[in-house]
A and B are shown apart, each in its own frame.
Chain A
């Protein structure tokens, strides 16, 4: 069975893009390394056959920084099955007034928000694995 793909946007220049990438790395490297892996969005967008093959028909969770939803749209366009999609701006809405850090480094509060987001993503991963095992 393929690992669940956790794919963040490539948003640079804003803290929300960094939040998306940090969340994806934390899930795939620390929290669920055996069940998940990430795929480079830029590689997917080039239409490269190898990248497309990794996601085609495979369960994916996308994490976007902003409402443009580059990750969710690009993954779906190349045939990935987007089982859950997140926008870090939505996570910020639940923490009004909190400073999450800068485009290059998250603050302590920013990491707390990422920890919460990662928990939700891990629940999604467990659900997907359970569903696929049926």
Chain B
């Protein structure tokens, strides 16, 4: 693990879940450059920890449902990068936490599982970050009634089926536009395309579903799927929040982008298509 955290664990000394949160924090500091913020001292004298909290992503570990560590982070207006609740983790791993305060076999297994989960999340982040996606995307917007539709102004290509592609070298990232997410409203299910599968331009690249309809993604380019946005499986609402950034769908190794480009349109043309659709269909 190369990434390090500022860890804010709860101080649950009277419950086993609290002792587990301490053990997780300890193990992370041993295996990474992470640093622990003492919740007790932080509450009374935060100056000591402000530097750590501002430099590293914050990992909050709560033992129980009282969530003291989360509340402390909220009190101090800290931005939480990752959050773990030991009791919830125990439930999802089907582990019963002992009533005593010493960690036994089950508790240590839970510690391993939580550490593994944090490591896995990190690996995923690293895979995603290999794609050089722009950070400050500029949008043009078109509003109709209460709906606002964003379209990125530069670097994106679109098809008339309201899907976008952003190309870097021989790789591309694809997704849907605001028109799709506004039309579907609350997206509840995401069926990703299969990693490793070959896909033709205008072939189906997974689908998304809300209470209103199912939308099949019409792939704007041809190639091989190299990655999918796994976060959407747990939180498909990311597509509603921003379908161009956190709500991206998949990454593709391109097979013939120069030919595919003949059937794609740029911002200026797609913006006209979008306005026409919105005006005609009164989303």
Residues of A within 8 A of B (CB): 14-16, 66-67, 76-77, 81-84, 89, 92-93, 96, 99-100
Contact = CB atoms under 8 A, between A and B. Distances in A.
B189 A89 contact: no
A69 to B, nearest CB: 10
A14 B189 CA distance: 18
Contacts, number: 34
Contact of A16 (B70, B186, B189, B209): B186
Given A66-B237, A77-B74, A93 B67 contact: no
B237 A14 contact: no
A92 B67 contact: no
B188 A93 contact: yes
B211 A83 contact: no
A66 B65 contact: no
A82 B62 CA distance: 13
Ranked 3 nearest A-B pairs via Cβ: A67-B237, A93-B188, A83-B65
A14 B185 contact: yes
A84 to B, nearest CB: 8
A66 B211 CA distance: 12
B71 interface: yes
B230 to A, nearest CB: 17
Contacts of B2: none
Given A67-B235, A67-B237, A77-B74, A14 B186 contact: yes
Contacts of B74: 76-77
Given A67-B235, A92-B211, A81 B66 contact: yes
A66 B186 contact: yes
Contacts of B189: 93, 96
Contact of B186 (A82, A89, A96): A89
Q: Is the interface of A mostly helix, strand, loop or mixed?
A: mixed
Given A67-B235, A76-B71, A81-B66, A89 B185 contact: no
11 contacts: A15-B211, A66-B186, A76-B67, A81-B65, A81-B66, A84-B65, A89-B186, A92-B188, A92-B211, A96-B188, A96-B189
Contacts of B186: 14, 16, 66-67, 89
A43 to B, nearest CB: 20
Interface string B149-193: 000000000000000000000000000000000000110110000
Interface in B40-78: 65-67, 70-71, 74
Given A81-B66, A83-B65, A89-B188, 8 more contacts: A14-B185, A66-B237, A67-B240, A76-B71, A84-B65, A92-B188, A92-B211, A99-B211
**Which of B74, B186, B188: most chain A CB closer than 10 A?**
B186
Contacts of A83: 65
Contacts of A96: 188-189, 209
Contacts of B188: 89, 92-93, 96
A82 B67 contact: yes
A15 B211 CA distance: 10
A102 to B, nearest CB: 11
A76 B74 CA distance: 9
Nearest to A84: B65
Contacts of A92: 188, 211
Contacts of B235: 67
Contacts of A100: 211
Nearest to B185: A14
A134 to B, nearest CB: 12
Nearest to B214: A97
A59 B237 CA distance: 28
A66 B186 CA distance: 8
Nearest to B65: A83
